[in-house]
A and B are shown apart, each in its own frame.
Chain A
Amino acid sequence: MTDAHPTDEQLSAALDGADQAAADHAAGCPSCRTRLAQLQAVATAVAVPPAPLDQLAKERAMAQALASARGASARNESTVSLSARRRVPGWVGIAAAVLVALVVVPLLVRDGPSGNDVASKSTGQGSVADVASEVAAADGGDLGSVDDAQALRAIVAPGLGQSMAAGGAGSAADSTGAAGQGAARPNAGRGPAASPTSTTVPAAPQAQNAPASGLTTGGRPNPPCASTTRQRYGQGLASLVYAATLTWQGTPAVALGYSVTTSGGSLNHRVFVLARSTCIVLTVLSL
């Protein structure tokens, strides 16, 4: 190495392992070693990742990205289904509705506990704590086809308001063993239609004019994707207070509304719309 000091560019490259001569010089030169340490301090400071985005914002971004992927295909499917519908006789639709009522709905709720004994059954999908949080969900019914967040918000909000009013004094059956004793549990007051004296969870109020979704009939606590939602986004979520089926931008989906534990703000509920088959989040609302 010559006596000439390396430039900042050379020292910076030395920091990156791209200039061995400059690194060798700095090893024996106090001035350059100091400068190298300064550049290293900058690199170290920049290397610290920023604080992560909150989970809700992350899920929104993910949902938007996935929705953009589905956009074109959903439009194509919509076109196909409209043209195909013209060729389908009317009785096929009736038969399909009967089939759904007889087969699909029982399948959806088959893992839930029997309506009269929440405490005695395991759902097979979620933890006991999960079940305790899900027992009082209102059945929002089948919301039909919904394509944008604003429309969904308008549909879901009354259901959440209804559930909040109905659940003001209630406590739900406690799947941890308090059932049968009329024990209250945390957050039970947020849930709808829960009886303070009975272990039976009565049918929850439905959204106006919406047919039952079958997700919470008779207090069935475990709609599709509830366990996944708990596992992934459980932080900050209290009770599941609302469940409904819908077709979101062409994708069969469930809407799960949770009360949230954050206080002091106007954010009271979070509604996840998840693809029914994969439980991927399609969109998230804060209400």
Chain B
Amino acid sequence: MAAARDGDDQALDQLLRRHYDRIYAVCRRLAGNDADGADATQEALIAIVKGLPRFDGTSRFSTWAYRVSVNRTLDELRRRARRPSVGLDDAVLTSMAAAPIDVAQRVDVDQALSRLPVDFRACVVLRDLCGLDYAEIAHVLAIPPGTVRSRIARGRAALVPLLGNPAPDPGRPSPQP
């Protein structure tokens, strides 16, 4: 790490290779398709390399790298404004979770995630794909841990009908915003 930060090309190469797959995975899942995922990964790697001298070591490198990657990807998604689901309001999110869905309408993970607002998507991906805990996700996204917990729950609940599971029992309490 120190060598990479000091400009050692070989150390930097090894560092990036070690973390590449996870960085790509999170960028890919946030972006929703291969092409945008590849672009986002490349942008993220460049941002990591450029930002490495500022990495202070107070968090794990992987957490910091996720932070850079997620921010770059979210910036890119917002800039492109390709996703009509970006900016979905609470009512839409809630209706997604509650609406029964026919088997034929069930979609894969990418499509399901793409229907979540990006802020919710990021929380779910960082938790379930990257295995970060609430505090780490809060650090990555610069939001309170309580918000992380809420967004993960609401994101998962919205994904339940989309990923092939039955609609929730209407008698159960709905998640609190």
Contacts and interface: CB of A to CB of B under 8 A. Distances in A.
Is B a genuine binding partner of A?
A: yes
Contacts, number: 147
Interface of B: 7, 9-10, 12-13, 16-17, 20-21, 24-25, 28-29, 34, 37-38, 41-42, 45-46, 48-50, 52, 97, 109-110, 112-113, 124-125, 127-129, 133-134, 149-150, 152-154, 156-157, 159-160, 163-166, 168-169, 171-176
B172 A69 contact: no
Contact of A34 (B13, B156, B169): B169
Nearest to A9: B153
Contact of A16 (B38, B41, B127, B165): B127
Chain B contact surface mostly: helix
Given A43-B156, A47-B128, A65 B37 contact: no
Nearest to B113: A46
Interface of A: 4-9, 11-13, 16, 18, 31-32, 34-35, 38-39, 41-50, 52-53, 57-58, 60-62, 64-66, 68-70, 73, 275, 278, 280
Contacts of B48: 65
B125 to A, nearest CB: 7
12 contacts: A7-B173, A9-B153, A11-B153, A12-B152, A13-B153, A31-B169, A42-B159, A45-B109, A58-B20, A62-B45, A64-B45, A66-B49
A35 B173 CA distance: 11
B24 A65 contact: no
B165 A41 contact: yes
A46 B153 contact: no
Nearest to B121: A46
A7 B176 contact: yes
Chain A contact surface mostly: helix
A18 B125 CA distance: 18
Contact of A42 (B12, B133, B165, B174): B165
A105 B171 CA distance: 80
B156 A52 contact: no
Nearest to A7: B173
A7 B41 contact: no
Identify which of A41, A45, A68 gathers the most chain B CB atoms within 10 Å of its CB: A45
B174 A47 contact: no
B156 A42 contact: yes
